[in-house]
Amino acid sequence: MKIYLDCIPCFIRQSLDAARHATDDVTIHEKVVRGVLDLANNLDMSQSPPVIGQKIHRLIRELVGVEDPYHGVKQRFNNAALKLYSQMRHLIIESENPLETAVRLAIAGNIIDFGVKSQLQEEELKETINKCFSDVFSGSQIEDFGNAVNEAENILYLADNAGEIVFDRLLIEQLPIEKITVAVKGSPVINDATMQDAEITGLPKIVEVISNGSDAPGTILESCNQSFRNRFDKADLVIAKGQGNYETLSDVNKNIFFILKAKCPVISRNIGCEVGKMILQKTKAFRGEIKNARI
């Protein structure tokens, strides 16, 4: 998905949020905003939004002089989600359709996104979890997803954010784990999950977890290391969590299922849904809308 003009004011708001998150120094806030204005003015609009996101957050880390401004937020939401883990696992196991329940919860967990939201309280996370069971969501999509998972031999699961990765673990536990490799970001960007977050949630104990080697808030293949790209190429099914992965991979010729909550108007318009909707959607290639897609 390419950058829309509507993304530009949002980039600037996001960068100001992120700068305020990282430091109270208003001179740095202004430097960040001016730097992002400059980046935005030289923008190639054919790129995906995370390409500029990567540049913005590199600039913020450089200007603030902090390697991981969201470290505290990531810890907070890992802990909040881990506290809910047993209860959510119980809900999944006891439910009529455990796969559907796990997918719904995985989408609810995608609310923990500090790219879109500058503030999030644990209370809102709990409300989103409660709401995810009643939101409209097509059962046939779940069946389709279950079939794709069963038919695949090699599944790559692209995690999104810290905290959310606990919800991913719950979904992964409902999948054939022997086929699955989970990928996290190579180094900190916003509150995206890195290897440290995967370890906190205990994921490496049940499944192989690899780093994608990149600091982009999505999956920009050219920005990932060769080892990740080999795994991506080898996978016959990719499960991609969150908006950043949708933005970077929606036009890729690959069998991908996107799992996300559509939180911004631009993505919602691109998907063709209302803001706030729970999304489980295949790539165009997977739907047979791109010629020579690997299906």
Contacting its own copies within 189-228 (CB under 8 A): none
3-state DSSP assignment of residue 62: helix
| Nearer of residues 13 and 234 to its own copies, judged by Cβ | 13
In terms of CB distance, is 34 or 90 closer to its own copies? 34
| 157, containing H or E segment | strand 155-158
Is residue 287 part of the contact set for its own copies (CB under 8 A)? no
Residue with tokens 């690997």: 294
| Candidate ranges 33-41, 98-106, 107-115, 149-157; the one touching its own copies (CB under 8 A) | 33-41
Tokens 């982009």 -> residue: 216
CA separation, residue 92 to residues 141, 148, 201, 268 (Å): 18, 20, 18, 28
Tell whether residue 12 is a contact of its own copies (CB under 8 A). yes
> DSSP alpha helices (H): ranges in 235-289?
242-249, 265-271
What stretch of H or E contains 240?
strand 237-241
Q: Is 21 in the site for its own copies (CB under 8 A)?
A: no
Residue in 272, 244, 269, 274 with CA at minimum distance from that of residue 259: 244
Q: Provide, rounded to whole angstroms, the least separation between the CB of residue 12 and its own copies.
A: 4
User: Smallest gap, in angstroms, from Cβ of residue 59 to its own copies?
Assistant: 14
Rule CB under 8 A: choose which of 5, 44, 65, 86 binds its own copies.
5
Residues 43-72 that bind its own copies (CB under 8 A): 45
Q: What are the distances in angstroms from CA 200 to CA 61, 70, 152?
A: 24, 16, 28
Judged by CB under 8 A, the residue of 21, 22, 29, 157 near its own copies is: 29
Please tell me the distance from the alpha carbon of residue 225 to that of residue 227, in angstroms, as a whole number: 6
- Contact by Cβ (8 Å): 112, 118: no
Residue 10 found at the interface with its own copies (CB under 8 A): yes
Q: Could you tell me the smallest distance in angstroms from the CB atom of residue 19 to its own copies?
A: 9
Q: Which one, 41 or 226, has the nearer CB to its own copies?
A: 41
Query: What CA–CA distance (Å, rounded) separates 159 from 201?
Result: 12
Kindly tell me which residue out of 38, 62, 124, 143 binds its own copies, with binding defined by CB under 8 A.
Answer: 38
Tokens of 192: 């995206």
How many positions of this chain bind its own copies (CB under 8 A)? Answer: 18
Shortest distance (Å) from residue 23 CB to its own copies: 13
How many residues belong to the chain?
A: 295
Q: Which of 2, 23, 33, 206 binds its own copies (CB under 8 A)?
A: 33
Q: Are 137 and 218 a contacting pair, CB within 8 Å?
A: no
Q: Which is nearer to its own copies, 24 or 94 (CB)?
A: 24
- Residue 28, interface with its own copies (CB under 8 A)? no
Q: Which residues bind its own copies (CB under 8 A)?
A: 5-6, 8-10, 12-13, 16, 26, 29-30, 33-34, 37-38, 40-41, 45
